[in-house]
Amino acid sequence: MIRFLILFGFAYLFLHLHLTGDISKYINMRYGYLSFSMIFIIGFMAVYQLVKWNVEGNKNHADVEKKIFGHDHSHENNTWWKKGLTYALVIFPLITGLFLPIATLDSTIVRAKGFHFAEIDNDKDQYANHQILKPDTSQYYESSTYKKMLKSDMEKYSKPDSLYLDDDNYLRALEAVYNYPGNFSNKKISIMGFVYHGDSLEKNQLFLFRFGIIHCIADAGVFGLMVQFPHSVDYKDDTWMRAEGTLTETYYQPFKQTIPVIKVSKWKQVEKPKSPYAYRKY
């Protein structure tokens, strides 16, 4: 019976995440069909366990014990704690998923792990590069395919007179901007994100970031641009805003290299979006 309850609980958890839309806080919804299919697979397994439990309930208790355990009581007494530990490990993520609130990534994570350019990251493990200022998806493509895609994105996003970053183009457009900054020089650009005060910034400078997800929350990184206001500003970390201005470049000492920066002409504080993450579009 306990197996049925656990499986039913996981099927309900996946269903709940999809109905509320909270599943998007864990995975790129391009793969949503995989988690949605798990509802039916786990549901079928739960029904199977329920039927099996009912059938075995009609059998003689001794026969059931012999069939399932295949040993005497003395051996069972030595293994009950192992089964208890196994069930506890399985139930723990179910309980936390159902009863604990879903936390979203914010500036606290950025401060804890830092952010940097991919080029100065010596760790080649694609699953370890969580905090990078500029999007870099080269590791997910064959070299020539990636170059063609990047050039295509550059032409697509640099051709219009202005670039408006939204949920659909955020990661791909930013990747083009960082790889071809000259093609976007003096272009009007609009970006929305949360405020983060990095190191060695002037009083009229800050970063606007969004956490981007390539596949799932495990590979999430923080991506965005430095913005420079015409005068000093006083916004706290995690304040969401949309800023618009002209894209140029500046030398950022902590990175020891030149990075894109928006010289802001218009800006406004906005509410945190219902879906704060940006997802890689393919």
- Secondary-structure breakdown of the chain: helix, strand, coil percentages, each rounded to the nearest 5: 50, 20, 30
Q: What is the mean pLDDT of the chain?
A: 83
pLDDT at position 66, please?
Answer: 52
Q: Give yes or no for residue 8 having a pLDDT over 50.
A: yes
> Which tokens belong to 240?
């969401």
Provide mean pLDDT across the span 47-54: 84
Q: Which residues contact 273 (CB under 8 A, 6 or more apart)?
A: 192, 240
User: How far is Cα 246 from Cα 265, in angstroms, rounded to an integer?
Assistant: 8
Q: Give yes or no for residue 75 having a pLDDT over 80.
A: no
Q: Give yes or no for residue 119 having a pLDDT over 50.
A: no
> Which tokens belong to 100?
């604990």
Q: Give yes or no for residue 73 having a pLDDT over 60.
A: no
> Which tokens belong to 75?
């051996």
User: How far is Cα 159 from Cα 45, in angstroms, rounded to an integer?
Assistant: 53
DSSP state of 101: P
Provide mean pLDDT across the span 85-107: 83
pLDDT at position 234, please?
Answer: 92
Question: Residue written as tokens 């894209």?
Answer: 247
Percent of the chain's residues with pLDDT above 90: 39
Closest CA to 243 of 262, 271, 217, 218: 262
Strand blocks (E) in the chain = 162-164, 188-196, 205-213, 221-228, 240-252, 257-269, 278-279
For 155-172, the pLDDT digits (tens) are 999 999 999 999 999 999
Q: How confident is the model at residue 198 (pLDDT cuts 50, 70, 90)?
A: confident
pLDDT at position 233, please?
Answer: 93
User: How far is Cα 66 from Cα 46, in angstroms, rounded to an integer?
Assistant: 23
> What residue ranges define each of the domains in the chain, with the CATH number in brackets?
2-99 (no CATH), 107-279 (2.40.50.140)
